[in-house]
Homo-oligomer: A and B are copies of this chain.
Amino acid sequence: MRRPARRSQAAGRVSESSIKRLSRYYRALSALEAAGQSTVSSPDLALRERLTPAQVRKDLSSFGSFGTRGLGYPVTELKSRIAKILGKDHTWNVAVVGAGHIGSALVSYREFRNQGFLIREIFDSDPERIGLALRGLTVRDVAGLEAAVKSRRIEIVVIAVPAEAAQEVADRCVRAGIKAILNFAPVNLTLPDDVCLRTENMSMELEYLSYSLVNGPGPPGAPTGEDLT
């Protein structure tokens, strides 16, 4: 065996939250680049993303990044560095399962394609939907999922089926060798540890909103105007 394995880059230990912040830096850097700014400082970046300069520096340094002391970070360079870390230097082949409202919205969602996620197939089990054309794609029978994963080299599956059907779809994805799933069904999927799962849980966000409306926004203790005795 090899020594304490390193990852591709100088990636140390990167927490989920710092990866999420990386996404935000990426977005900010894209905007800066578009605006023609060539370097950016940590206070500057922090301001744009409502973070602290220290955090920006910690995050960026945590994967051995290089800014220039006294000057800041080179925008384009840093952007492409982050792109690489986030796997944005690839494109990914995506299949959507479920051609209902969410599924159909996704195939038309520009942001998806912009980010390098190319939707190659959309599946459904409803005979009424199979055969429909959606943005240049034809809805196909979900029975063909495994075959398509192989033949079209699908790497990511988006699950946009009703809650009851989601686990079964997920199981089939796993059997087909899929390693990343984005789930829109409001259930907890059970998957092997080597499959990465993200669940887009709108209910959770909504509940957080309603919680805040009831209990007052912001950190505990913040005034609401109302006095809850």
Interface residues of A (CB under 8 A from B): 5, 7-8, 11, 13-14, 16, 19-20, 22-24, 26-28, 48-50, 85-88, 90, 92, 101-102, 104-105, 108-109, 111-112, 115-117, 155-156, 179-182, 186-188, 193-196, 198, 200-218, 220-225, 228
Contacts and interface: CB of A to CB of B under 8 A. Distances in A.
13 contacts: A8-B214, A16-B208, A22-B207, A23-B208, A49-B188, A86-B211, A105-B105, A109-B202, A180-B210, A182-B205, A193-B218, A196-B218, A200-B200
Contacts of A23: 201, 203-204, 207-208
Please tell me how many copies of the chain the complex holds: 2
Contacts of A22: 207, 211
A117 B8 CA distance: 45
Contacts of A202: 109, 111-112, 200
B188 A198 contact: no
Contacts of A108: 101
A146 to B, nearest CB: 19
A198 B194 contact: no
Given A210-B92, A217-B179, A111 B14 contact: no
B198 A208 contact: yes
A215 B101 contact: no
A59 to B, nearest CB: 13
Contacts of A48: 188
For A22, A48, A188, the residue with the greatest tally of chain B CB atoms inside 10 Å of its CB is A188
A26 B212 CA distance: 17
A28 B216 CA distance: 26
